[in-house]
């Protein structure tokens, strides 16, 4: 398919708490293109928008049932479609979504079998290998705020913590970690700064040269009130924090899962989370108690004997949905400009346009050809 003539924007039905649809402003930017735009029925409703709010921005918008939206030349949706939704997409159509190639081998195989042209939002990087389509603040701040609130509940206004200083340990040294540390600083200032009572919070960000040493980890974990996974593992089959180490966390401690990597026992070796034995939450349930039924869904090979309260969500930016989509709408616009003006099969890795280069490198074919390099 040389040029795009129709675009489908489906809603995401993964859970009731998922409200994120692109805002009307995005579609105003598409007026210059001769393309029909199909939005799923009730698109934007959960964010307070009406069909007229969208049509006023772009007269080429048509609201249509879910099955029809997936039949268009280009499908744009933030979270990756489920398997039944992928099966609705026509061969040689184009999909732009958060596809997370590194940790979704099963989905990658389905996309290849169906000959879908794929571009993953999370793989849209600049020439310095930094993500463009990303909401680091939304990912980090929402989870950090909830973990901080849960620690307060767990410790009777912090009276049960071992010391006056609260220790937050973050696994990872990247952008998610940095935004997480900044969020905890802000929450700590709000809670303690004006009281001047000696209480406060210290953030420890630990790199690989610490996490690979069991004894070092044990000492750090024993003193951690909140343990955060903000890691980016090159190999998702490798555990960073073994379940036995969770036993050294204080009973009241909170585990914050910002990466929300999934388990997958349909591949060998099994794909696991960085912190062994914790479940993955959703927008409908992001606080997970130690006896939650979600533990029953873990692969049988995963050790979950030692448990603490877990704060986890597979879509953290969705907690603040409208702010999230305002940002993503602005970030995706230049990528849509490229694919609508050049077509999905005419992209050039050496283009003078940074967004064209980035889009080219975000394809599934590019990932598969380069993953072992």
Residue 183: its pLDDT value, please? 96
* Chain-centroid distance, C-alpha 198: 36
Can you list the residues of the chain whose pLDDT is less than 50?
none
Beta carbons of 105 and 113 less than 8 angstroms apart: no
Give yes or no: residues 89 and 229 share one domain.
Answer: no
Strand runs labelled E in the chain: 6-9, 36-40, 61-64, 74-79, 94-98, 117-120, 165-171, 200-206, 226-229, 254-257, 287-288, 309-312
Give yes or no: residues 58 and 164 share one domain.
Answer: no
Give yes or no: residues 203 and 254 share one domain.
Answer: yes
* Greatest CA separation for the chain: 66
Residue 336: its pLDDT value, please? 98
Give yes or no: residues 36 and 75 share one domain.
Answer: yes
Give yes or no: residues 238 and 178 share one domain.
Answer: yes
Give yes or no: residues 155 and 242 share one domain.
Answer: yes
Residue 195: its pLDDT value, please? 79
Give yes or no: residues 119 and 151 share one domain.
Answer: no
CA distance 51 to 77: 18
Share of the chain above pLDDT 90, in %: 81
Domain count, the chain: 2
Give yes or no: residues 153 and 295 share one domain.
Answer: yes
Q: Which structural domain range is residue 305 located in? A: 136-314
CA distance 117 to 72: 13
Residue 129 lies in a domain: no
Residue 197 lies in a domain: yes
Residues 86-128 have pLDDT tens digits of 999 999 999 999 999 988 888 999 999 999 999 999 999 999 9
Residue 269: asked if its preceding bond is cis (omega within 30°), the reply is: yes
Q: Around Cβ 130, how many Cβ atoms within 10 Å? A: 10
CATH number, domain with residue 271: 3.40.50.720
Give yes or no: residues 281 and 302 share one domain.
Answer: yes
* DSSP codes of every residue in 181-246: HHHHHHHHIIIIITT-SS-EEEEEEE-HHHHT-HHHHHHHHHT-SEEEE----S-TT--SB-HHHH
Residue 370 lies in a domain: no
The first and second tokens of residue 117, run together, are: 């042209």
Give yes or no: residues 16 and 101 share one domain.
Answer: yes
Residues 192-218 have pLDDT tens digits of 888 777 788 999 999 988 998 899 999
Residue 96: its pLDDT value, please? 98
Residue 131 lies in a domain: no
Give yes or no: residues 118 and 81 share one domain.
Answer: yes
């Amino acid at each position: 398919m040389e040029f795009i003539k129709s675009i489908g924007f489906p809603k995401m039905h993964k859970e009731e708490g998922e409200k994120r649809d692109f805002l009307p402003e995005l579609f105003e930017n598409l007026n210059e293109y001769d393309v029909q735009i199909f939005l799923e029925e009730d698109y934007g409703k959960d964010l307070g928008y009406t069909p007229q709010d969208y049509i006023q921005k772009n007269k080429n918008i048509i609201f249509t049932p879910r099955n029809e939206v997936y039949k268009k030349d280009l499908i744009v949706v933030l979270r990756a479609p489920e398997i039944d939704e992928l099966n609705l997409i026509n061969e040689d159509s184009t999909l732009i979504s958060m596809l997370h190639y590194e940790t979704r081998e099963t989905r990658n195989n389905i996309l290849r079998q169906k000959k879908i042209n794929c571009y993953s939002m999370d793989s849209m990087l600049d020439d310095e290998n930094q993500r463009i389509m990303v909401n680091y603040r939304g990912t980090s701040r929402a989870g950090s705020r909830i973990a901080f609130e849960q620690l307060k509940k767990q410790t009777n206004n912090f009276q049960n913590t071992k010391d006056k200083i609260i220790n937050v340990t973050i696994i990872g040294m990247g952008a998610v970690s940095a935004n997480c540390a900044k969020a905890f600083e802000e929450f700590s200032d709000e809670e303690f700064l004006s009281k001047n009572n000696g209480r406060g919070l210290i953030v420890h960000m630990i790199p690989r040269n610490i996490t690979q040493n069991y004894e070092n980890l044990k000492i750090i974990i024993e003193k951690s009130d909140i343990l955060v996974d903000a890691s980016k593992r090159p190999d998702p089959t490798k555990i960073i924090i073994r379940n036995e180490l969770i036993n050294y966390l204080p009973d009241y401690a909170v585990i914050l899962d910002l990466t929300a990597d999934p388990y997958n026992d349909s591949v060998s070796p099994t794909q696991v989370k960085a912190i062994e034995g914790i479940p993955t939450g959703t927008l409908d349930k992001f606080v997970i108690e130690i006896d939650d039924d979600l533990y029953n869904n873990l692969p049988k090979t995963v050790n979950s004997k030692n448990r603490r309260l877990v704060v986890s969500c597979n879509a953290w930016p969705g907690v603040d949905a409208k702010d999230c989509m305002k940002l993503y709408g602005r970030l995706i616009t230049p990528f849509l400009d490229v694919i609508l003006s050049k077509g999905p099969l005419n992209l050039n890795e050496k283009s003078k346009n940074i967004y064209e280069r980035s889009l080219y490198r975000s394809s599934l074919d590019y990932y598969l050809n380069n993953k072992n390099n």
